[in-house]
Structure 1
């Protein structure tokens, strides 16, 4: 028994034997709401109780800075080579898709590693190096990513603080085939602008430095290599978060991709209680694309132990195999995108969501006052 409910109808639902008949798999009209704690804290405690040696896997990975530097230099070399090639030519687009997008996805996820202070021992060194890694993205991104991503880990599924969650507006407007195709194509823009619309973070000196360094390098690239080189960086960034194989991880990580758990048969769909059978909130992928993406596919492992670097996530899985093998897995990031766009039962609603504790406590106090 767990409590996964509609916002307006918090009813405990017995989901141990869900009826997955076709008539019950109605299209979702709301998120999977729950008051249960996110699963990673509990599993971390269980793993540490049985395998305390896992703590030795935590810490920075010196190899990260060398690989990340190589990828950044590869992107600058590519921009230089393509500086006289028209951005709409087949050569430019093909190189930007195959090489540029893969490289910039690697850059995005190098910044992700650095946001957990896994590249250097000192946090400030990680922040400064992430600004260097930001350069081939073309727009300042690294300094803002860290605080928003830390909120995602600390308050996973939180209605007000987890900016990885699609907004209600997104879900209402885009939960159809054309809308999902639009979302999958332009998802990098959603991840870039949604956080600023959902919650605000403090603007610091590191943010200012990120902006200044990025604009200075962009200016130098345009002045000495021309606009085509700059377009290469921007196109690479766009394609990295669009219909690209490595971009499948954005959807694969936390969307409920096997919604075999039905909505209960309430007369009014707007107050339907959603059964979730301890619905898994995080999915791991163990395929070859992890080679290009710092093993981000091992996402259950990462959320359980965010201070274990990319080189040791497989070791973590091997040590605690009985905890991870039973969990649902993703076989293909490419098919995740295809299924997301074309699947009737996979919408932007397919995320587990929690009421923000501050808002929830205020709502409950208000209800108690009204009742009394």
Structure 2
């Protein structure tokens, strides 16, 4: 990738993101990839089953001692909740009911949100569009850390703290970087979510609610699955801003590891992203990729060259005016 300069320790580029050009090139060569686009008929049933499992778990953990409740939150419930956040990621691309039923996707996202404990799905959709459209865009892509994060979280201990508080940063960063008005769907999302929390509290007490929220916070912080937050776009090799992960944890995360393929073809469900690589291997096998999210976390913490500043950024002036 040419035309790069370092500014404020981010990697600033003055080229467009590579995904749209690669998408056009691949589709010209392999038009059959269009057949992979559209809703996944099995997806909504898998998500519904996961939500039901978490509701059943609320009943089971209602009398657990706190230490075992937190253990179950980290080792079991948090895995499901993190997976549900990635289901919400797919739902934001309308893979549950298709583009023609966008409103059904939004409400299904609220349903998938229930075990997470806090309203999330509608706000995520609002900002995730910008992440794809303006990847690395200064002031637009809220997935990019702030300058303060880059300057402060620069030692191994501070990087661990940064990873632990990732859920908090993902809530606060949009409010600072690119605040947007609250929509009526976000209000509905909050009302549905807090009503669910109150019902769980009324039925079984505080511990099940704590189980759900703790699972979400713990699994999105210092947890093996959370390695995908860093693996996806942190620049482990100079000039590469998106990376795929090809490993077993894709089975628990709706194939979010196929991230290069996802940004090339965001309308393809996670369940079919591996087929993109099989159809067009010459476009992906030559790119750097990860095989372990645990190794990603280890390298990020202990490698001096890696940190919150290890991101590609670009100006998107025309996008800002739009």
Q: What TM-score, normalized by structure 1, do the two folds share?
A: 0.83
Residue 202 of structure 1: CA displacement? Answer: 3.3
1:337 aligns with 2:314: no
Residues 232 and 244 in structure 2, CA contact (< 8 A), matched pair in contact too? yes
Matches within 5 A, 1:49-198: 49-87=28-66, 89=67, 91-121=68-98, 122-198=101-177
1:257 aligns with 2:236: yes
The CA distance in 1 between the partners of 2:293 and 2:309, in whole Å, is 19
Counterpart position of 1:214: 193
The CA distance in 2 between the partners of 1:317 and 1:53, in whole Å, is 13
Greater Cα offset, 203-212 or 108-117: 203-212
Counterpart position of 2:3: 3
Which of 264, 270, 286 aligns to 1:310? It is: 270
Q: Secondary structure at the match of 1:353?
A: strand
The CA distance in 2 between the partners of 1:195 and 1:206, in whole Å, is 17
Residues 10 and 311 in structure 2, CA contact (< 8 A), matched pair in contact too? yes
The CA distance in 1 between the partners of 2:149 and 2:46, in whole Å, is 36
Counterpart position of 1:47: 26
Q: In 2 relative to 1, CA 245–37 (structure 1 residues): closer, same or farther, beyond 3 Å?
A: same
Residue 167 of structure 1: CA displacement? Answer: 0.6
Q: Secondary structure at the match of 1:6?
A: strand
Provide Cα deviations, 1:206-230, integer angstroms capped at 9, x if missing partner. 1111011111111111122111111
The CA distance in 1 between the partners of 2:167 and 2:229, in whole Å, is 9
The CA distance in 1 between the partners of 2:236 and 2:159, in whole Å, is 14
Gaps of 5+ in 2: none
Greater Cα offset, 138-147 or 172-181: 172-181
Counterpart position of 1:243: 222
The CA distance in 2 between the partners of 1:288 and 1:58, in whole Å, is 24
Residue 360 of structure 1: CA displacement? Answer: 9.6
Q: In 2 relative to 1, CA 284–359 (structure 1 residues): closer, same or farther, beyond 3 Å?
A: closer
Residue 86 of structure 1: CA displacement? Answer: 2.9
Counterpart position of 1:285: 245
Residue 95 of structure 1: CA displacement? Answer: 1.4
Residues 184 and 341 in structure 1, CA contact (< 8 A), matched pair in contact too? no
Q: What TM-score, normalized by structure 2, do the two folds share?
A: 0.96
Residues 123 and 186 in structure 2, CA contact (< 8 A), matched pair in contact too? yes
Which of the pair is proportionally richer in helix? 2
Greater Cα offset, 166-175 or 93-102: 93-102
Counterpart position of 1:20: none
The CA distance in 1 between the partners of 2:209 and 2:56, in whole Å, is 12
Q: List 4+ stretches of structure 1 deviating above 4 A.
A: 358-361
The CA distance in 1 between the partners of 2:154 and 2:57, in whole Å, is 37
Residue 358 of structure 1: CA displacement? Answer: 4.8
Q: Secondary structure at the match of 2:12?
A: strand
Q: Secondary structure at the match of 1:32?
A: strand
The CA distance in 1 between the partners of 2:206 and 2:267, in whole Å, is 39
Provide Cα deviations, 1:312-364, integer angstroms capped at 9, x if missing partner. 11111111110000010101001111111111111111000012315999xxx
Q: Secondary structure at the match of 1:47?
A: helix
The CA distance in 2 between the partners of 1:113 and 1:360, in whole Å, is 26
Residue 80 of structure 1: CA displacement? Answer: 1.2
Matches within 5 A, 1:228-239: 228-239=207-218
Counterpart position of 1:26: none
